[in-house]
């Protein structure tokens, strides 16, 4: 919780109230070709072929543009999966997440998003909703945003009745080859959940001073995935005020949503969570005065800056 607060804190793994990416490196050599003029993959083993879809995607942003085109008819579709109660043993109710969901919905609506929240979905229900939204037509939208508020562990997130891998169930359905009308547009994911059970005690510091041409893109281009904490670590939530990450994110959206590009804004979110929050659990010396830092993975190819509607 905040340093000056008195509400109980919980961690997002069920005890108190994730995803490492392991890239395999292999080496592929093709005999008889000039290596100085040929690209080669850092991979070992068989060469997997990917057949790109031809002529399906239409970029609404010029190839050389620094910023994404954020002047479509609609700002963006935002989906919030809020999980408070669970049918899984040892997973406690996530008090405070309702306020997170309410504040995030409010902040996104101020930015012009069309927001749809869901509460306590089972794995099957979650799967059906994701399948529905992955098949939508986003031709007239600037971007797509999804937020998940739940318990988690390293590499997994919990629905009401079971766990799933976010890369498979969440953003894997919205790649450029599967959701063509989002190809070349920002796809933004915000995950409030633990990524493990490690604690961060922090370190004390003192300051010394007071177009028209066609081009091909990777299917995972234009994604941004922001976790509330780094792989392996707890994520903290105040039972009265909501999670640290969502508090900071909503404040940043409200204050700077139309003035700063998204990565700059998220840097301020990182700073606020890292500096202004510290756990207050005096009854448990191991959980007391702990810190947290969000983790942002960007595959964006341009800057995201939300513009005010005319």
pLDDT one-digit tens code per residue, 107-127 = 999 999 999 999 999 999 999
E strand map for 52-167: 74-82, 113-119, 141-149, 152-153, 156-158, 163-164
Position 16 pLDDT exceeds 50: no
Dihedral of CA atoms 48, 53, 58, 60 in degrees, nearest 10, equals -10
Confidence class for position 192, pLDDT limits 50, 70, 90: very high
- Find where tokens 């012009």 sit: 112
Predicted pLDDT at 152 = 95
Position 68 pLDDT exceeds 50: yes
Position 290 pLDDT exceeds 60: yes
Predicted pLDDT at 22 = 38
Q: Which fold is adopted by the domain 74-200+217-299?
A: Rossmann fold (3.40.50)
Mean of the pLDDT values across residues 21-39?
A: 42
Residue 2 has a CB neighbour count (10 Å cut-off) of 16
Predicted pLDDT at 27 = 35
Higher-confidence residue of 43 and 281: namely 281
Considering the candidates 11, 101, 143, 194, report the single residue annotated as catalytic: 194
Considering the candidates 83, 151, 179, 250, report the single residue annotated as catalytic: 151
* Span of 52-56, 105-109, 262-266 with lowest mean pLDDT: 52-56
Predicted pLDDT at 44 = 47
Query: With contact defined as beta carbons under 8 Å apart, do 192 and 11 qualify?
Result: no
CB burial of residue 87 (10 Å; 0-12, 13-18, 19+): exposed
Max Cα–Cα distance, the chain, nearest Å: 70
Predicted pLDDT at 29 = 38
Q: Is 194 among the residues known to form the active site?
A: yes
* CA–CA distance, 3 with 291 (Å, rounded to integer): 11
Higher-confidence residue of 3 and 83: namely 83
Look at residue 111 and give its three-state secondary structure.
coil
* CA–CA distance, 242 with 236 (Å, rounded to integer): 9
> pLDDT > 70: what percent of the chain?
76
Predicted pLDDT at 157 = 97
Q: Is 151 among the residues known to form the active site?
A: yes
Position 37 pLDDT exceeds 60: no
Task: Kindly list the distances between the CA atom of residue 140 and the CA atoms of 18, 109, 177, 184, in Å, as whole numbers in the listed order.
Answer: 32, 17, 18, 13
E strand map for 14-140: 74-82, 113-119
Beta strands 187-192 and 163-164, pairing class? unpaired
């Amino acid at each position: 919780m905040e340093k000056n607060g008195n509400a109980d804190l919980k961690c997002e793994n069920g005890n108190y109230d994730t995803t490492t990416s392991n890239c395999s490196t292999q080496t592929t050599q093709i005999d008889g070709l000039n290596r100085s003029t040929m690209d080669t993959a850092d991979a070992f083993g068989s060469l997997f072929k990917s057949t790109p879809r031809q002529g399906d995607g239409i970029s609404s942003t010029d190839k050389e543009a620094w910023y994404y085109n954020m002047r479509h008819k609609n700002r963006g579709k935002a989906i919030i999966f809020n999980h408070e109660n669970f049918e899984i043993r040892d997973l406690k109710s996530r008090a405070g997440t309702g306020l997170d969901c309410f504040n995030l919905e409010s902040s996104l609506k101020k930015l012009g998003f069309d927001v749809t929240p869901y509460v306590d979905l089972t794995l099957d229900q979650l799967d059906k909703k994701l399948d529905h939204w992955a098949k939508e037509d986003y031709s007239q939208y600037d971007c797509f945003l999804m937020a998940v508020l739940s318990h988690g562990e390293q590499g997994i997130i919990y629905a009401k009745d079971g766990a799933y891998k976010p890369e498979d169930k969440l953003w894997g359905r919205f790649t450029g080859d599967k959701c063509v009308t989002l190809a070349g547009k920002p796809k933004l994911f915000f995950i409030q959940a633990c990524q493990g059970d490690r604690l961060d005690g922090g370190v004390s510091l003192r300051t010394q001073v007071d177009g028209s041409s066609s081009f091909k893109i990777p299917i995972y281009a234009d994604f941004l995935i922001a976790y509330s904490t780094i792989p392996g670590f707890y994520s903290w939530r105040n039972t009265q005020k909501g999670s640290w990450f969502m508090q900071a994110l909503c404040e940043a959206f409200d204050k700077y949503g139309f003035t700063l590009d998204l990565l700059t804004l998220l840097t301020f979110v990182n700073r606020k969570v890292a500096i202004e929050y510290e756990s207050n659990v005096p009854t448990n010396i191991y959980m007391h005065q702990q810190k947290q830092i969000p983790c942002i993975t960007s595959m964006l190819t341009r800057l995201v800056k939300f513009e005010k509607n005319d």
